[in-house]
Structure 1
């Protein structure tokens, strides 16, 4: 039988058949009945409807794990990576993102963004004790073979949001400076996105850089306050749930045992992160998958249970700067808009899914 004609769109092969019956169109997976030359040549199959995704990162180790998770997930179409200061400088985050994409065999554009906070000159020290001098566990060897895309992160976010109005998911796992700048330039941005998922905050638990503040929010509290109050369709994924998603050492060892260049790189990089966790939390059962969990929600939101809350971010110079706290009902008229805050996580199911994809 003559083969159906095929046309390639990037990594997707599309076949032209006589008749295609599509069922369950509104689901993320659709069933297709294919008939060619009046003969059924394929039974009902599952086709994955990919989400358009931008990752906004400050590429340290858990960012790198999140990027690998996204690249290896067919449910997601990675339109690009935007970078910011945070764990390391924005220049280093851009370099690390380019190097990692090369190792993953992915060619998504990387666009550099904010070098410093939105409304203040001072910035907390980079997290080199957690992520290494190079941000990826001191595994940097050589330079990327390609350069960052032209333009800046905020304009890239705006351009993609307008191009894919109502269809774009943005996962932000660093300080929220790029988003704050994008909001200044495009006030209607919240209405253009399908979903904004932010890894940041500590609403019901203690912080990890101060007793009350989480690192991403603390790095640029004014940007966080601006973004959280802008009316985005927003899910906040904070330490409330991410500290429950622990990656055990024996799973990292399995990556190295694969004997592949990627597996060895990812294991060596993550070993540094694991040791940092052991140093500041003796006896902990692994390292937290902060940023990968945010990517996981772009794939399957049922990994967590959320509750709508009115959240404010402490700004200024108080001892609680960077704190994310819920506003009581009587004060909600004067608070930020309601957002979905992740409070429970199916850590075991998420970890299984992450491990099935990342390497």
Structure 2
């Protein structure tokens, strides 16, 4: 019988929310996770790679999902200090329940591994999901340009629209409301490598294939107290670990951004958006004008002028995603304005149940 699951490659920088993205990609029955590549971002590459291996160990997937190390810095910029005020020194601070890796990274580097796995899928079936700095993704399409026409789609977590694009609370720093989370204008993943992000959005072969999950969307999906209580209900070691990660994330978001309801779950939405693009999987995204129901697509450009220091000091808008709505019928980037939040958490809960069952069968994380 033919495998009808959606082939997905996950490029990530674990990361508290990446743990949930990996869990969703591993245990959603409609997804076939081809592999994971790691990139610098929430922590340095020498930290994000073992983080990915540890998460897979916690999910009893370490021996079935390979991890391939990727880029350790931006395409053309000096190293950027990771956001330790959000994710801690390790990128996954806040729990002692994360197990040590039981496997090692693949000796095959990220870019050739990604290309081989994705090109081995039938045309227009596979998705690339990128939830960290977009360096690996940009290098992939630069070195294997035919992939842009081969893939069904690319789902990116990054950027911020602002200007009331959604009713999400984006937070404030020092009393100043902002669209971005790393600067007033820029979201971290895009600012980390703005040239890489801009290269993706300017790739004509990807026009109409990119789904962008900006802060405006991810801040609608919060790990509230009710969500945390629901996850903890099963009482397994995995559930306790996930809640501890959410609690740490909640604390940093409250302290840094003044968001008290709970932390936004950015990265798993980029995985869930693949299901939404396929019209199934239990999570609905609304890529339309919510007032009229009219389908929307956008042109996205990234401000690349200026240094990291300029951006942090407010002298430039480096890393800002500049979004322009296209005319009716034009193809462009899909940026949903809403998501079925209840459906998302229901699906996430089902995936946690499957992970618990797999762990129990393996005698792991009980």
The answer to whether the superposition gives a TM-score over 0.5 is yes
C-alpha deviations, 1:241-298, integer Å up to 9, x for none? 1111112123223433422121111111221001112213435311111111111112
In structure 2, C-alpha distance between the alignment counterparts of 1:256 and 1:111, rounded to whole Å: 31
C-alpha deviations, 1:137-179, integer Å up to 9, x for none? 2435663121111221111111112111322111110111001
In structure 1, C-alpha distance between the alignment counterparts of 2:100 and 2:340, rounded to whole Å: 38
Q: So what's the TM-score if we normalise by structure 2?
A: 0.79
Partner of 1:252: 228
C-alpha deviations, 1:294-328, integer Å up to 9, x for none? 11112233622222111111102061111111247
In structure 2, C-alpha distance between the alignment counterparts of 1:343 and 1:286, rounded to whole Å: 20
SS in 2 for 1:236: strand
**Which one has the largest radius of gyration?**
1
Partner of 1:305: 286
Distance of aligned partners of 1:75 and 1:328 in 2 relative to their CA distance in 1, 3 Å threshold: closer
RMSD of aligned C-alpha atoms? 2.1
1:344 to 338, 342, 348: 338
Partner of 2:217: 241
Partner of 1:128: 84
8 Å contact 1:60–1:136 — kept in the other structure?
A: yes
Partner of 1:5: none
8 Å contact 2:190–2:320 — kept in the other structure?
A: yes
Partner of 2:198: 225
SS in 1 for 2:57: helix
Structure 2 residue runs of 5 or longer lacking an equivalent are: 164-178, 288-295, 307-314, 354-366
8 Å contact 1:137–1:268 — kept in the other structure?
A: no
Q: Does 1:193 align with 2:174?
A: no
Distance of aligned partners of 1:98 and 1:339 in 2 relative to their CA distance in 1, 3 Å threshold: same
Question: How far apart are residue 129 of structure 1 and its match?
Answer: 1.7
Higher relative contact order (CA closer than 8 Å, sequence separation 6+): 2
Question: How far apart are residue 130 of structure 1 and its match?
Answer: 1.2
8 Å contact 1:48–1:75 — kept in the other structure?
A: no
Q: How many equivalent pairs are there?
A: 307
8 Å contact 2:253–2:259 — kept in the other structure?
A: no
C-alpha deviations, 1:15-56, integer Å up to 9, x for none? xxxxxxxxxxxxxxxxxxxxxxxxxxxxxxxx9831111110
8 Å contact 1:240–1:342 — kept in the other structure?
A: no
Partner of 1:208: 181
Partner of 2:119: 162
Quick check: 220-229 or 163-172, which moved more?
Answer: 163-172
8 Å contact 1:296–1:354 — kept in the other structure?
A: no
C-alpha deviations, 1:67-94, integer Å up to 9, x for none? 1112121110111011000000112111
Q: Counterparts of 1:244-283 in structure 2 under 5 Å?
A: 244-282=220-258
Would you tell me which structure has more strand in proportion to its own residues? 1
Distance of aligned partners of 1:328 and 1:294 in 2 relative to their CA distance in 1, 3 Å threshold: closer
SS in 1 for 2:43: coil
8 Å contact 1:50–1:74 — kept in the other structure?
A: yes
Distance of aligned partners of 1:174 and 1:283 in 2 relative to their CA distance in 1, 3 Å threshold: closer
Quick check: 341-350 or 53-62, which moved more?
Answer: 341-350
8 Å contact 1:214–1:323 — kept in the other structure?
A: yes
In structure 1, C-alpha distance between the alignment counterparts of 2:79 and 2:59, rounded to whole Å: 35
